[in-house]
Amino acid sequence: MTSRSNSAQRDIETLLHPYTNLAAHRETGPMVLERGQGVMVWDNKGTPYIEAMSGLWCTSLGYGNRELVEAASEQLGKLAFTHLFGGKSHDPAIELAEKLKSLMPMPVSKIFFTNSGSEANDTQIKLQWYYNNAIGRPEKKKIISRQKAYHGVTVASASLTGLPIVQNDFDLPIAGILHTDCPHHYRFAEAGESELEFSARLAANLERMILEEGPETVAAFIAEPVMGAGGVLVPPQGYFAAIEAVCRKYDVTMISDEVICGFGRTGKWFGCQSTDFRPDSISFAKALTSGYIPMGGLTVSEDMYQAMLDQSRKLGAFGHGYTYTGHPVAAVTALKTIEIYERDDIPGRAAALAPLFLKRLTALGEHPLVGEARGLGLVGGLELVADKESRRSFDPAHAVGASAARATERHGVIVRAIGDTIAICPPLIISEEEIGALFDAVERGLDDELGRVTREGLARP
């Protein structure tokens, strides 16, 4: 067996890393993680860290949960794989679909399973096109997303994503995908504009876009309740109420991308419940299995299902799906995950911990490097700025956010830099004491980065 001691070099020579500066990675190498328990992970040198990003917003029940391991192991021994093609089925997928339907905050006819949030949102686009063709509205196909949104990286879902790094030189977005305003009051409000006024202006801009495109051509609007990879952007007061009114006025389907917010992260089962809007469909993934096994999916309304029945009669089959749609091991893992969420009231636990989490987060808003501290439930972001008064950002070349994240790691906590925003999204099983240790380390990391910024004069205009 190859020694662990050269893991870094082996990584550099064999792996292509997502969302990584590939040139810089050849110089710095990877952090190689080896094991985890609770909210902690250890690297291959034995160094412990609080995993304050739940991996990638997903390990809500933390690491080493024996119930999840045993559920998956038992299913592996019973029926490791079967599929849902051609009318075949299995109990885990049936039971999971039943459970998910019962949890949803709006009426649901069917559940369609995918392997990721990207695939779920890619499927949302395809179903909107399919549905409107089926009911005789072939021109109603455009999908509206938002600047700074994140909805995935397949060709279609990356087109929904409103981040340049996901589209630059990939020849994206594809036609028919539009992007309206980012609802970030701190960055995009006009002077003296309240949150309610800002929300009203963004809704008016959305309405103008729909009218300019032609309401008969606009099929859907997709939104994350809290925008994750855009920088943990919490919607301003009145935002979704205003946006939903516009969508209902022009028969535009509302899709809630709950890949990050779903299953308790915001203190309720779904983020749309915490941000006061009622979607027509929900995309989900990540915390569905606490990240233990890949799985995602989306809800299908009764109207859409009836149209799909007609299409099957006409075309002979519903021509969409994945080899691993409703994978039995993933399904039983999801069922056990949801059982634990319900039994231990994990959404309620997140709601109870949120005041402490947000108090510590908000306090860091006073740090000299932090322009805005924002969060909801147990997800938060700290936007680092060169000047607090003017809200001037750092030159991206200085990589202040990435440097602050590395500094925080040196103090034993893994966070994620999204540009110059530090994202924090701990497992929902975190304790009050661990929240304290987490934010103590983040503060020390910010202090270290402030020292570097001051020494190198990075905050100068």
Q: What is the pLDDT of residues 225-260, one digit of tens each?
A: 999 999 999 999 999 999 999 999 999 999 999 999
25 inside domain: no
Above pLDDT 90, what percent of the chain?
Answer: 97
Residue 54 lies in a domain: yes
Contact at 8 Å (CB) between 228 and 283?
no
Work out the pLDDT band at 189, boundaries 50, 70, 90.
Answer: very high
User: Is residue 433 scored above 60 in pLDDT?
Assistant: yes
Task: List, as one string, the DSSP characters of 69-123.
Answer: HHHHHHHHHH-S----GGG---HHHHHHHHHHHHH-SS--SEEEEESSHHHHHHH
- For residue 3, being part of any structural domain is answered with no
Phi-psi region of 161 (alpha: psi -120 to 50; beta: other; left: phi over 0): beta
pLDDT in tens, 92-143: 999 999 999 999 999 999 999 999 999 999 999 999 999 999 999 999 999 9
* 255: CATH: 3.40.640.10
Q: Please give the structure tokens belonging to residue 372.
A: 């805005």
Distance, CA of 270 to CA of 406 (rounded, Å)? 31
Domain holding 57: CATH number?
3.90.1150.10
Residues 207 and 112 in one domain: yes
Choose among 261, 298, 295: nearest CA to 277.
261
Per-residue pLDDT at 6: 87
Q: Do 198 and 251 lie in a common domain? A: yes
- Residue 1's pLDDT band (cuts 50, 70, 90): very low
Map residue 335 onto helix, strand or coil. Answer: helix
For residue 199, is it within any domain?
yes
Domain boundary among 298, 322, 343: 343
Are 81 and 139 found together in one domain?
yes
Residues 51 and 118 placed together within one structural domain of the fold: no
Q: Per residue in 288-309, pLDDT tens?
A: 999 999 999 999 999 999 999 9
Residues 221 and 244 in one domain: yes
Structure tokens belonging to residue 360: 């510590």
Q: State pTM to two decimals.
A: 0.95
The per-residue pLDDT for 460 is 82
The chain-wide mean pLDDT, for the chain, equals 96
Residues contacting residue 77 through CB under 8 Å, at least 6 positions apart: none
User: Does 19 reside within a domain?
Assistant: no
Quick check: 267 and 274 in contact, CB under 8 A? yes
Kindly tell me the sign of the dihedral angle through the C-alpha atoms of 185, 190, 194, 197. negative
For residues 226 and 359, state if they share a domain: no
Verify that 88 and 166 share a domain, yes or no.
Answer: yes
Q: Is there a single domain that holds both residue 37 and residue 175?
A: no
Counting the structural domains of the chain, the total is 2
Is a pLDDT exceeding 60 seen at residue 3?
A: no
Of 343, 378, 410, which residue constitutes the final position of a domain? Answer: 343
Q: Confirm whether 424 is domain-assigned.
A: yes
- Predicted local distance difference test score (pLDDT) of residue 5: 57
Length of the chain measured in residues = 461
Cα 229 to chain centroid, rounded: 7
Together in a domain, 55 and 192: no
pLDDT of 459 reads 87
Same-domain check for residues 306 and 359: no
Sequence-ordered list of residues with C-beta below 8 angstroms from that of 346, at least 6 positions apart, any chain: 60, 61, 263, 264, 340, 428, 429
CA dist., res. 374 & res. 234, Å (int):
7
Q: Write out pLDDT tens, residues 377-406.
A: 999 999 999 999 999 999 999 999 999 999
Whether 2 shows a pLDDT value over 60: the answer reads no
Same domain, 274 and 351: no
Range of 86's domain? Answer: 68-343
**Residue 23 belongs to some domain of the structure:** no
Say if residue 294 is in the same domain as residue 361.
Answer: no
Within a domain: residue 17? Answer: no
Tokens standing for residue 255: 């899709």
Query: Which of 343, 365, 396 lies at the terminal end of a domain, its last residue?
Result: 343
Res. 4: pLDDT tops 70 = no
DSSP 306: H
